[in-house]
Structure 1
Amino acid sequence: LLKVANSHRTLRKRFADLFSTRKMSYVARKGPAVYSALSKWAYNMAGFNQYGLHRDDCLYENEDVKEAIRRLPEKLKDERNFRITRALHLSMTKTILPKEQWTKYEEDTKYLEPYLEEVCRERDEKLKWESNK
């Protein structure tokens, strides 16, 4: 019984040490840096940046995404179409862009997000309106 009590105290002490304020503050300080590094690694491993594509160029085109693309300004729509056409050509020829032309993690913008959010809000509002009839 004494052995069990001592092992229990030892486990409690180790658990307390593991989750001490000092260690948790270390995690809080280092967490975002680790997350950012992991995000960059995952972004580069996805491979679409090697073709000059952005994240929003690779979205599955459901009804909401199609409507958001339709609402894009002509300049953004033309840039998107150019990137996709170039990526298709590179894929057919089994080549990638030179490394200096790859889309960088820091430069990739979510250009479609505001339009997509607007479409989703309108769809939700329409569903609420129709359910109240």
Structure 2
Amino acid sequence: MASFLQSLIDPKKNWLAAQHMKTISKRLKNYGLRYDDLYDPYYDLDIKEALNRLPREIVDARNQRLKRAMDLSMKHEYLSQDLQAVQTPFRSYLQDMLTLVKKENAEREALGALPLYQRSLP
């Protein structure tokens, strides 16, 4: 059952998934964003923790992309075609760290400890 569900969302195996990915890619390129930029650190504390662990240059680049996208959106404009051509919307920078944070939290929960970001200082 799990392999069937996995094949439904795999763009290499499902034409509709490939079309969806192509549409998302085009919309992200219009504003110069990456898919990982869409994760909200205020919505999920694991994402906030993962962003805190990333190098400052990566987080700064993320913030610059978000600022540029908001500016373009407010102006009702898109990036120029030559800049859109060099965008890499599905090049991940957050997933590895997010997986590590989730794994650590699962281990802490299994041991009966509070997650890292819920601990309070004495």
TM-score using structure 2 length: 0.68
Of all paired residues, the percent bearing the same amino acid is 29
Aligned position for 1:68: 50
Aligned position for 2:22: 41
Q: 2:101 aligns with which of 116, 119, 122?
A: 119
Aligned position for 1:50: 30
1:33 and 1:54 map into 2 onto residues whose CA distance is 22
2:111 and 2:96 map into 1 onto residues whose CA distance is 22
Distance 1:57 1:83, change over 3 A: same
2:111 and 2:66 map into 1 onto residues whose CA distance is 37
Aligned position for 1:108: 90
1:108 and 1:51 map into 2 onto residues whose CA distance is 14
- Please say which structure displays the higher CA radius of gyration: 1
Structure 2 gaps, min length 5: 1-11, 114-122
Aligned position for 2:112: 130
In the alignment of these two chains, the number of paired residues is 100
> Is 1:96 aligned with 2:83?
no
Q: CA offsets per residue over residues 4-55 of structure 1, 9 Å max, x none?
A: xxxxxxxxxxxxxxxxxxxxxxxxxxx648478435423235x222110000
Q: CA offsets per residue over residues 32-82 of structure 1, 9 Å max, x none?
A: 48478435423235x222110000001133101111111110111111111
Matched to 1:101, the amino acid is: L
RMSD (Å), alpha carbons = 2.6
Name whichever structure is richer in helix by fraction: 1
